[in-house]
Amino acid sequence: MYEARFGFECPPFNNVPDTTFFFGSSRHNEALARLLYTVEARRGFAVLTGEVGAGKTTVTRALFRRLGKDTVTAVVTNSRLTGVQLLYTVAREFGMEDVELSRPKLLESINTFLIEQLAADRNVVLLVDEAQDLPMGTLEEIRLISNLETERDKLIQIILVGQPELRDSIDHPELRQLRQRIAMRYHLLGLKLDETKAYVVHRMRIAGPAHSVRFTERALNTVHRYARGIPRLINLVCDKALLVAYTDDVEKIDQRTVMEGIREIEGPGFSFKEYEREFQDSGKTARRKPFIRLPFAGGRAR
């Protein structure tokens, strides 16, 4: 709606994991570098956690874009699976046909596939999204997949991505063997204040290099105070603020405009005093579950 008015070629704050808009904050770059090393060095297991909307999916998509043609990838987005169902899903995502819902046969088929890929000098990566919802037994099944290795090489690199609850699951005493196989664990925090400001400018520049609208310093401070550095919330409040600016026919987004946008999200009675008290009481860095869960559209990449 407001794109043409302000000179944007596409929506600057669309809440989808578009790597065109990837913003290399210090934390996102570190997470990406660690994942890339774990995969390319065939270290086996990696775990990436973060609050809802922290940018986990965008980081993993950026990772996949950086992998070479000699890498075979698959993504599992349905985490509410039994162990056998997970093995079946993995087999199908890697293109295996005529597989049966039999645990021994599935493991055999997956092992054969992985050995074939190793012989062809291909690396194999499996990403499991929303892994905090995986039942304990299914996490154990993932460990069994990671057992598929030769004397010198890990046959498959597994990345578990999830919300902070995933850390609690992995730290469960019954998953000690799984925990010992994890080569990399990283928790993705929100952006710092200066990074939030740079993030907003970055997205607007990508969406429209010659755009005519701008956020004041106080407006950006308010965006950060509300979003607490969580990219999805930054996108949400900035989109609302741009809509308010469009309605008011102004090109300078000040603190008042941002507050109007926040009240469109939270309701007319919103106050930072109550909002921040909820954070202090809960001890969390995100107030609520996401409005829409955005799945990582997975499948065979190559």
User: Given phi > 0 = left and psi -120 to 50 = alpha, else beta, which region is 160?
Assistant: beta
Confirm if 67 and 125 have CB atoms less than 8 A apart: yes
**pTM of the predicted structure, to 2 decimals:** 0.87
DSSP, residue by residue, the chain: --HHHHT-SS-TT--S--GGG----HHHHHHHHHHHHHHHTT--EEEEEE-TTSSHHHHHHHHHHHS-TTEEEEEE------HHHHHHHHHHHTT--S--S-HHHHHHHHHHHHHHHHHTT-EEEEEESSGGG--HHHHHHHHHHHT-B-SS-BS-EEEEEE-THHHHHHTSGGGHHHHHTEEEEEEEPPPPHHHHHHHHHHHHHHH-TT---EE-HHHHHHHHHHHTT-HHHHHHHHHHHHHHHHHHT-SEE-HHHHHHHHHHHH-TT--HHHHHHHHHHHT-S-SS--SS------S---
* Maximal C-alpha separation, the chain: 67
DSSP, residue by residue, 154-166: BS-EEEEEE-THH
pLDDT tops 90 at residue 154: no
Interval 3-12 mean pLDDT = 96
Interval 224-251 mean pLDDT = 97
pLDDT tops 70 at residue 171: yes
Output the six-digit token pair for 5: 């008015």
Q: Which amino acid is at 139?
A: L
pLDDT tops 90 at residue 74: yes
pLDDT tops 70 at residue 300: no
Task: Provide the pLDDT for residue 136.
Answer: 87
pLDDT in tens, 118-153: 999 999 999 999 999 999 889 988 988 888 877 777
Interval 26-51 mean pLDDT = 95
pLDDT tops 50 at residue 298: no
Interval 60-70 mean pLDDT = 94
Predicted confidence band at 283 (pLDDT cuts at 50, 70, 90)? Answer: low
What percentage of the chain reaches a pLDDT higher than 70? 93
Q: Which CATH architecture has domain 3-18+191-270?
A: Orthogonal Bundle (1.10)
pLDDT tops 80 at residue 106: yes
pLDDT in tens, 77-100: 988 889 899 999 999 999 998 888
Predicted confidence band at 282 (pLDDT cuts at 50, 70, 90)? Answer: low
Picking from 39-53, 76-90, 137-151, 264-278, which range would have the lowest pLDDT averaged per residue?
Answer: 137-151
What percentage of the chain reaches a pLDDT higher than 90? 75
Task: Provide the pLDDT for residue 278.
Answer: 79
Picking from 43-57, 94-108, 256-270, which range would have the lowest pLDDT averaged per residue?
Answer: 94-108
Output the six-digit token pair for 247: 């309605």
Name the residue ranges covered by the structural domains of the chain. 3-18+191-270, 26-188
- Residues 194, 159, 61, 289: is their CA dihedral positive or negative? negative
Interval 247-254 mean pLDDT = 97
Task: Provide the pLDDT for residue 296.
Answer: 39
Predicted confidence band at 34 (pLDDT cuts at 50, 70, 90)? Answer: very high
First to last CA, the chain: 37
Q: Do β-strands 123-128 and 71-76 pair in parallel, antiparallel, or remain unpaired?
A: parallel
In whole angstroms, give the CA distance from residue 154 to residue 12.
41
Task: Provide the pLDDT for residue 281.
Answer: 67
Task: Provide the pLDDT for residue 288.
Answer: 45
Integer angstrom CA distances of residue 201 from 1, 18, 238: 20, 16, 11
Domain 26-188 sits in CATH 3.90.1150.10 = no
In whole angstroms, give the CA distance from residue 139 to residue 178.
8
Angle between helices 56-66 and 26-40 (to 10 degrees): 50
Predicted confidence band at 279 (pLDDT cuts at 50, 70, 90)? Answer: confident
